[in-house]
Structure 1
Amino acid sequence: MHGYTGKTLIIDLSSGKVTEKEMGTQSYFEYIGGLGINSKILLAEVDPSVDPLGEQNVLIFGVGPLVGTLACTANRTDVTAKSPLTGLLGTTNSGYTWGPELKFCGYDHLVVKGKSQSPVYVFIDNGEVTVLDATHLWGRDSWDTIRTIKNELRDKEISVACIGVGGEKLVKFAAIENGFYGAWGRTGLGAVMGSKNLKAVALRGRKDVTVSDPDGFLESLHEMRERIMSHPTYNPWRQFGSMLAVDIYYALGVLTGYNQKEPLGEDFIESMGRENLLKYKKKSIGCTACPICCAHWVEIEEGPYKGLKLKGIEITSTMDFGARCGIRNLAAIAKATELFQKYGIDCSTAAGSIALATELFQEGIITGKDTDGLELKWGDEPLIFELLRKIAHREGFGDLLAEGPVEMVRRIGKGSQEYLAQNRGLETNSRDPRTRWDVWSFGFLINARGGDHLRVQSPAENLRESAPEGEYFYELSPPEKVVARIDIFHDWKQEIFDFERNTVSIPHMAAWCQDLMNIVNSLGICIRPPVLHSLGPTIYSRLLTTLTGIEFSPEDVRKAGERITNIQRVFNFKAGEKREDMKYGPKFYNMPIKGRRLDKDKVDEVLDEYFRVRNWDPKTALPTAEKLRELNLGKLGSNLAS
Structure 2
Amino acid sequence: MSWAGKILRVNLTAGTCTPEPLNMTWARQYLGSRGLGSKYLVEEVDPKVDPLSPDNKIIWATGPLTGTMASTGGRYTVITKGPLTGAIACSNSGGYWGAELKMAGWDMIIFEGKSPKPVYLYIHDDEVELRDASHLWGKSVWDTEEILKTSLQDPLLRISSIGRAGENQVLFACVVNDLHRAAGRSGVGAVAGSKNLKAIAVRGTKGVGNVRDPKAFMQVTKEKKKILADNAVTGQGLPKYGTQVLMNVINEIGALPTRNHRDVQFEGAKDISAEAMLTPRPTDGKTHLVTNQACFGCTIACGRISKIDETHFSVQNKPQYWGASGGLEYEAAWALGAANGVNDLEALQYANLICNEHGMDPISFGATVGAVMELYELGVLTKEQIGIEAPFGSARALCELADMTANGIGFGKEIGLGSKRLCEKYGHPELSMSVKGQEFPAYDSRGIQGMGLAYATSNRGACHLRGYTVASEVLGIPVKTDPHTAEGKPELVKAFQDATAAFDSAGICIFTSFAWGLADVAPQVAAACGEEFTTEELERIGERIWNMERAFNNAAGFTAKDDSLPPRLLTEPAKTGPAKGLVNKLPEMLPKYYQVRGWDAEGRPTPETLARLGL
User: By how many angstroms is 1:113 displaced?
Assistant: 0.5
1:16-72: CA deviation from partner (whole Å, max 9, x where unpaired): 121122123321221010100011011111101011000010011111100111000
Question: How far, CA to CA, are the matches of 1:504 and 1:213 in structure 2?
Answer: 43
Q: 2:86 — aligned with what? A: 87
2:99 maps to 100
| AA partner of residue 541 (structure 1) | A
Give the secondary structure class of the aligned counterpart of 2:10. strand
User: Partners of 2:406 and 2:470 in 1: how far apart?
Assistant: 37
Comparing 117-126 with 211-220, greater Cα deviation is found at 211-220
Alignment of 1:30-41 (within 5 A): 30-41=29-40
Is 1:247 aligned to residue 248 of structure 2? yes
1:281 to 283, 289, 292: 289
Find the partner of 2:583 among 598, 607, 613. Answer: 598
- Bigger drift between 584-593 and 556-565 goes to 584-593
Could you tell me how far 1:379 is from its partner in structure 2? 2.8
**Residues 324 and 352, structure 1, Cα contact 8 Å, conserved in 2:** yes
Partners of 2:426 and 2:157 in 1: how far apart? Answer: 45
- Helix, strand or coil: the match of 2:110? strand
Deviations 1:290-320 (A, max 9, x none): 1111112222355314834212121111101
Kept in 1: contact 2:371–2:423 (CA 8 A): no
| 1:171-186 correspondence to structure 2 within 5 Å | 171-186=170-185
**Could you give the per-residue CA deviations for residues 557-577 of structure 1, whole angstroms, max 9, x where no partner exists?**
110000000100001111111
Structure 2 match to 1:525: 508
Contact (CA 8 Å) 2:574, 2:583: kept in 1 or not? Answer: no
Aligned residue type for 1:628: L
Secondary structure at the counterpart of residue 516 of structure 2:
coil
1:583 aligned residue: 564
**Which whole-Å CA distance do the structure 1 matches of 2:432 and 2:471 have between them?**
30
Identify which of 305, 318, 328 aligns with 2:333.
Answer: 318
**Which residue identity is paired with 1:444?**
Y
Corresponding position of 1:490: none
Q: Which residue of 1 aligns with 2:262?
A: 261
Partner in structure 2 of residue 343 of structure 1: 358
Matched, 1:405 2:419: yes
Q: Which amino acid aligns with 1:288?
A: F
Q: Secondary structure at the match of 2:242?
A: helix
1:288-303 map, 5 Å: 288-303=296-311
- 1: CA distance between counterparts of 2:356 and 2:251? 27
Mapped partners of 1:596, 1:43: distance in 2? 43
Q: Does 1:510 align with 2:497?
A: no
SS in 2 for 1:62: strand
Deviation digits for residues 148-203 of structure 1 (CA, Å, limit 9, x no counterpart): 01111111110001111111111111111112111111000100000000111110
Mapped to 2, the partners of 1:217 and 1:277 lie a distance apart of 38
Cα gap change, 1:606/1:228 in structure 2, threshold over 3 Å: closer, same or farther? same
Look up the equivalent residue of 2:593 and give its one-letter code.
Y
The equivalent of 2:433 in structure 1 is 421
Contact 2:248 2:270 (C-alpha < 8 Å) held by counterparts: no
SS state of the match for residue 186, structure 2? helix
Deviation at 1:3, TM superposition (A): 0.4
Aligned equivalents of 2:290, 2:417: Cα separation in 1: 37
Q: Which runs of 4+ in 1 moved over 4 A?
A: 501-504
Give the structure 2 partner of residue 551 of structure 1.
532
SS at match of 2:116: coil
Q: Does 1:27 align with 2:32?
A: no
- The answer to whether the 8 Å contact 2:61/2:78 transfers is yes
Is this contact kept in 2: 1:459–1:532, CA < 8 A? Answer: no
Structure-2 residue corresponding to 1:224:
224
Between 136-145 and 362-371, the greater mean CA deviation after superposition: 362-371
For structure 1, the residue ranges without an aligned partner over 5 or more in a row are 465-477, 487-495, 634-642
2:464 pairs with 1:463? no
| d(CA) in 2 for partners of 1:463, 1:593 | 17
1:494-533 Cα offsets, whole Å, 9 max, x none, are: xx989xx9997111111111000000110111112xx113
1:332 aligns with 2:344: no
* Structure 1 residue 463, shift from structure 2 partner: 2.5
Shift of residue 238, structure 1, vs aligned partner: 1.1
Structure 2 CA distance for aligned equivalents of residues 274 and 419 of structure 1: 29
Aligned positions of 1:353-372 closer than 5 A: 353-372=368-387
Aligned partners of 1:402, 1:97: CA distance in 2, in Å? 28
Q: Secondary structure at the match of 2:212?
A: coil
Compared CA separation, residues 514 and 198, structure 1 to 2 (3 A): same
Checking the alignment, whether the CA contact within 8 Å between 1:298 and 1:312 is kept in structure 2 is: yes
Cα distance change on mapping 1:395 and 1:300 into 2, 3 Å = closer
- Once residues 596 and 171 of structure 1 are traced to their aligned partners in structure 2, the CA distance between those partners, rounded to angstroms, is 37
Q: Tell which deviates more after alignment, 423-432 or 316-325.
A: 423-432
Q: In structure 2, give the amino acid aligned to 1:322.
A: G
Q: After the TM superposition, which residues 478-493 of structure 1 pair with which residues of structure 2 at under 5 Å, given as runs?
A: 478=476, 483=478
Structure 1 equivalent of residue 283 of structure 2: none
Rounded to whole Å, the distance in 1 between the matches of 2:104 and 2:404 is 38
Shift of 1:610: 0.9
State the TM-score, normalized to the length of structure 1: 0.89
Does 1:396 pair with 2:395?
A: no
CA RMSD of aligned residues (A): 2.0
TM-score, normalised to structure 2's length? 0.93
1:55 paired residue number: 54
Q: Deviations over 1:235-270 (max 9, x none)?
A: 12110010111121112121131111123343x133
Report if aligned partners of 1:424, 1:584 keep a CA contact under 8 Å in 2: no
Hey, what does 2:614 align to over in structure 1? Answer: 632
Equivalent residue for 1:568, pick from 528, 545, 549: 549
Q: Distance between the aligned counterparts of 2:276 and 2:569, measured in 1?
A: 31
Q: Give yes or no for contact 1:35–1:62 (8 Å, CA) kept in 2.
A: yes
Distance between the aligned counterparts of 1:403 and 1:503, measured in 2?
Answer: 34
Looking at structure 1, the residues matched to 464 and 505 of structure 2 have their Cα atoms a distance apart, in angstroms, of 18
* Superposed displacement of residue 211, structure 1: 1.6
Give the counterpart letter for 2:182 in structure 1.
Answer: A
Residue identity matched to 1:179? D
Which consecutive unaligned segments of at least 5 residues does structure 2 have?
Answer: 279-286, 317-321
Give the counterpart letter for 2:612 in structure 1: E
Aligned match of 2:281: none
8 Å Cα contact 1:420-1:586 kept in structure 2: no
CA contact (8 A) 2:85 2:186 kept: yes
1:263 aligns to what SS in structure 2?
coil
Change (3 A) 1:406 1:354: same
Report whether the alignment pairs 1:454 with 2:469. Answer: no
Q: Is 1:611 aligned with 2:594?
A: yes
Q: CA deviation at 1:355?
A: 1.2
Is the alpha carbon distance of 1:275 and 1:40 closer, same or farther for their aligned partners in structure 2, counting shifts above 3 Å? same
- What is the CA–CA distance in structure 1 between the aligned matches of 2:120 and 2:241, rounded to whole Å? 37
SS of 1:84's equivalent?
coil
Q: Does 1:151 align with 2:150?
A: yes
Following the alignment from structure 1 to structure 2, what is the Cα–Cα distance between the partners of residues 25 and 425? Answer: 35
Q: Give the match's secondary structure for 1:140.
A: coil
Inter-partner Cα distance in structure 2 for 1:274 and 1:396? 34
| Secondary structure at the counterpart of residue 159 of structure 2 | strand
Rounded to whole Å, the distance in 1 between the matches of 2:98 and 2:241 is 25
Residue in 1 that maps onto 2:442: 430
Paired residue secondary structure (2:80): strand
1:639 aligns with: none
Aligned to 1:188: 187
Amino acid at match of 1:205: G
Would you say the 8 A contact 1:282–1:299 is kept in 2?
A: yes
Q: For residue 434 of structure 1, give the secondary structure of its aligned residue in structure 2.
A: coil
Q: Structure 2: how far apart are the matches of 1:67 and 1:270?
A: 37
The answer to whether the Cα contact below 8 Å between 1:29 and 1:550 also exists between their aligned partners in 2 is no
